[in-house]
Structures are given as C-alpha cells and as structure tokens.
Amino acid sequence: MIQEEICSRDTMACCVDCPRRYFVVFLGFIGLLVSIGFRTCFALVMVHVTNHTSTERDDDSLFHNCTTSRDLQLNIEPSHVFLLHTAFYCGSLVTQIPGGILATRYSPKWVCGLSIVLSSVLFLVLPTAIQYNLPAVYVIRVLQGLVEGCSIPALNGIISAWAPKTERSRMITVAYAGAYISPAIALMTSGACSCYVSWNSIIYIYGGCGVAWSIVWMLCIHDNPKHHPRLGARERQLFCTDDVVINRPDQEEKIIPWRAILTSLPVYAIIVGAFCRNWIFSMLITQQPQYFKEVFHMTTADIGFLSAVPHVLMTVVVITGGFVVDNFIKRDIFSTTVARKLSETLGYQVNPLDLAPKYASVVTGLARLGMLGAVLSTVVAYFVRDIVTDPAEVPEAWKRLFIIAASIHFFGVLFYAVFASGNRQPWSGSPSTLSVSITQPVANDDKDYDETTRLLRRRLRLHRPQLVDADSYEYGSTTRFLNTI
C-alpha cells in the first residue's frame, strides 16, 4: 500500500517542507509547452523557407524589415510541406496506445523523459536535413512522431500519481494549460527569430530547451510520492490521509467489456469529438500560417503574431471555462450531461471518466486515436492545394479547405450534442462507496435520489469534506485528457 510505505518513512530525512507535487505540475506544464512547440516551430519555419514566389507586404506590417543574412530558400511546393506534417502525425498515431502500455508496465518518468529527449535530438538534426537532404526530413518527422506519441500517456500517469484527489482537477488543468498556450508562444517566437535572427535559430532554441527539460525531469521527478526520498512531512501526511479516508470497494475481476464499450454511443461521441478537434487543431498549427503567407502575403513575424491569437483565446476559455462549468454543476444549474455538451461546443474537452472511471484508460486510448483527424487534415490540405497551379485560384482553394474544416467541426458538435453523456454507463462497473452508508452514491449526478440523501451529502461536504466519494475528487469535471495533440 502506498500509504504504508510513505507513512513509514523517516520524517527526519526531510529538511524543507516543500510541496513537491507543485514542482511536478510545473515541469509537466513546461514539458508540454516545449514538446507541442516542436511541431508549431517546424510549421512556421517551413512557411518561411518556402513559397518565396509571393511578395511580402512590408508597408502595413506590424514588424518591418523582416530580413536576415542567415536565410534559406527551398525549391519545394508549399503543398508538399503538408506531407511533412502528415508524416509526424502518422508516427504519433502509431504509438498512442503502446505508449500507455509502456508507461503502465515500466517507469512513466523514464518513458516520458526519454520520449522528449529523443524528439529534441531529432529536432536539432532537422536544420541540416532541411538544408541538404529533404527526404531525410520525412524520416526524421516520422521518428519524431513515434517517440513523442509515448510522452502524453506517460505524463498523464505521473501527474495522476502526484495529484491528491482534492487537487487533481486543478493540477491537471494547470499542467495541460501548457499544451494550449504552447502554439501561441511558439508561433510568436518563431516568427520573430526567423525574421531577425536566422531561419533555423528557433529550432536550436526549442531543441536545446527540450534536452535541458528532459535532464531535469529524469533527475528530479519520481514515478509517485512513495519513491521520493525528500518528501516533506506535511505533503507526506497529505498523501497518507488522502489514501486512507476512502474505503475502496473490493477488487473486481479485470475483464474489459469490449463489446459494451465498442457499442456505446457516448464513447463514439468522445471519439468523434476528438477526431474533429484534432482536425481543427492541426489546421490552426500547420495550415493557417501558410494561408496568411499565400493569400495576404504577410511577413513571417506577422504570421506568427496573428496565428497566435486563436491559441491565446483558447487557453483563456479552457482554463476559465472549466471552472465556470464546474460551478454550474455544483449549483445544479446544469446536469453533468448538459455541462459536457456545452464544454465540447465551447471548444475544450472533458474526460471519459464520467462514463466509466474503471475503464477510463481504455476509453482514453480510443479517444487518442482521434489523432487520425490531424493526419487526414494535412492529407486533404495537400490534395486541395496541390491541384491549384494558377496563383489567382489559390484563395479559392483555401476557401474550400476552410469550408471542409468548418463542416467537419459542425458535424462533430452535432454528434456530440446528440449522443454524449455525462452519466456513468451500465457497463462501467461498481461505483466507489463512502466510508458511511447512504442510500445513493454521493457522486451521483441524477436528481432522482431523495431529500435525505441530498442533505447527507451536503453535511458531508460542509463538515467532513475529505470523506466524499473518491470519484468526485479524482474525476472532477475540469479534469481533462489531451486528445488534440
């Protein structure tokens, strides 16, 4: 038992009572900031070094004199660059589920750390390949996708292990915020560096940061609190208390109800939503900068700045929207199902833990296959843009791409609105129970329980907040899973 091992440690070994879990969340935030930035920086760099047939407009630019002596011009069609992004997403798609298995069977710290350090090294090799051997770029992008696909499942395992039930929702929200703000930072810095430093400077900066982060991660992070030799006394007590207040149900037979899962419409709602969100997310990162370049003839610095705006707004909505929706649920303004549908419509994702906490990893793995949306998004962009040879027809080609993307996203919102659910499914297994006996589980979101149960839940939350159902903390409504990266 985790609590037995932690509680038995000698408290004298800790001189400073510092919350180590916050450091884990901070490094998780930085890790996502850097790793998601890899693909964003590459996208804008490729926009900068290709498509030199279009004349940049400097008169109304926010950033003037976007030139540097250390520049590069590639003789490559802009549409072919989309296939470089396809190569990355294909590699990432392959290792989504195997990455989760590796992180579960072995150390998630090492799986995540090695994943990012290998991707960083490959990223540092990219400038040489771009300049001298373009076919090698395809190989490097596939390898980057393969190794990065393991990082997110492993990172999830680390953060989940270090997040007490009472803080899990907030900690995961903060850590995942790095993934949403990452494109904005990467776009702005890439644009500025490409214009005023050199075309490849941002690749070396991000690659170096990735290597440095990986070293700090592998040296300082432990898989879970019981393995940390310098855990503070107060924090140790928090994990001890957090682990013993709940009387867990008996271990059930570990049989995954695949048939029920694969025939569940709410599960397909999550998968479809993930697919459509990945399509849009990929388009914003890999195609929107090219659109600004070809249609509006903007400088790279302008492109980076304007392309960052949607990601900044998305970050604000993700962080604040989750807490607002949480408040609506707690005040019984919305049911959990209505809140989930509203969340997807507003543009941020909630997790599959509502449907089946026991099989959440399975449903999450299926949802992560929504990465196929990113693959198809770049493939469609290649074909739609490649058939255009007349420069006058380029704006029309981009118009078709945006209509396709909007239609797919609208379909995803409708499908999710009709078939999604925020209630635990019949195949999900037994719900967690409280240390006290009540007629209904505390975490039940339905409104058909009696007033006695409602009052009992209210008294528990007011006087003994640590004794509420495990699910209400471990699976808070702002707890998200990353299905768009």
- What's the pLDDT at 370? 86
Tokens of 450: 């009696």
Residue 396 CA to residue 377 CA, distance in Å, equals: 17
Residue 484 CA to residue 348 CA, distance in Å, equals: 10
Using alpha carbons only, how large is the chain's radius of gyration in Å? 24
- What's the pLDDT at 333? 80
What does the pLDDT look like over 418-456, one tens digit per residue?
888 877 788 876 544 333 333 333 344 444 444 433 433
What does the pLDDT look like over 116-126, one tens digit per residue?
999 999 999 99
Query: Does the pLDDT of residue 344 top 70, yes or no?
Result: no
Count of Cβ atoms closer than 10 Å to residue 96 Cβ: 21
Query: Does the pLDDT of residue 340 top 70, yes or no?
Result: no
- What's the pLDDT at 160? 73
Region of residue 297 (left: phi > 0; alpha: psi -120 to 50; beta: else): left
Q: Are 480 and 176 in contact (CB under 8 A)?
A: yes
Query: Does the pLDDT of residue 251 top 60, yes or no?
Result: no
What does the pLDDT look like over 291-312, one tens digit per residue?
999 998 888 899 999 999 988 9
Query: Does the pLDDT of residue 465 top 60, yes or no?
Result: no
DSSP annotation string for 196-231 = HT-TTHHHHHHHHHHHHHHHHHHHH--SSGGG-TT-
Average pLDDT over residues 155-166: 75
What does the pLDDT look like over 199-229, one tens digit per residue?
999 999 999 999 999 999 999 888 877 767 6
Pick the more confident residue, 465 or 390.
390
Percent of the chain with pLDDT over 70: 69
Residue 388 CA to residue 382 CA, distance in Å, equals: 10
Average pLDDT over residues 142-146: 95
Name which of 468, 175, 429 is nearest 330 in CA terms.
468
Residue 300 CA to residue 198 CA, distance in Å, equals: 12
Residue that the structure tokens 């469609």 belong to: 380
469: Cβ contacts below 8 Å, ≥ 6 apart:
246, 431, 432, 433, 434, 441, 442, 443
Average pLDDT over residues 455-482: 41
What does the pLDDT look like over 5-63, one tens digit per residue?
444 444 333 334 457 788 888 999 999 999 999 999 999 999 999 865 555 655 556 66
What does the pLDDT look like over 368-421, one tens digit per residue?
888 899 999 999 999 999 898 888 899 999 999 999 999 998 998 888 888 888
Tokens of 37: 């930035």
Count of Cβ atoms closer than 10 Å to residue 286 Cβ: 27
Q: Which of 164-168, 249-253, 430-434, 465-469 has the highest mean pLDDT?
A: 164-168
Lowest-confidence pick of 342-351, 418-427, 467-476: 467-476
Query: Does the pLDDT of residue 250 top 70, yes or no?
Result: no
What does the pLDDT look like over 64-101, one tens digit per residue?
667 665 678 888 888 899 999 999 999 999 988 788 77
- What's the pLDDT at 485? 58
- What's the pLDDT at 379? 95
- What's the pLDDT at 2? 47
Query: Does the pLDDT of residue 130 top 90, yes or no?
Result: yes
189: Cβ contacts below 8 Å, ≥ 6 apart:
41, 202, 205, 304
Query: Does the pLDDT of residue 187 top 70, yes or no?
Result: yes
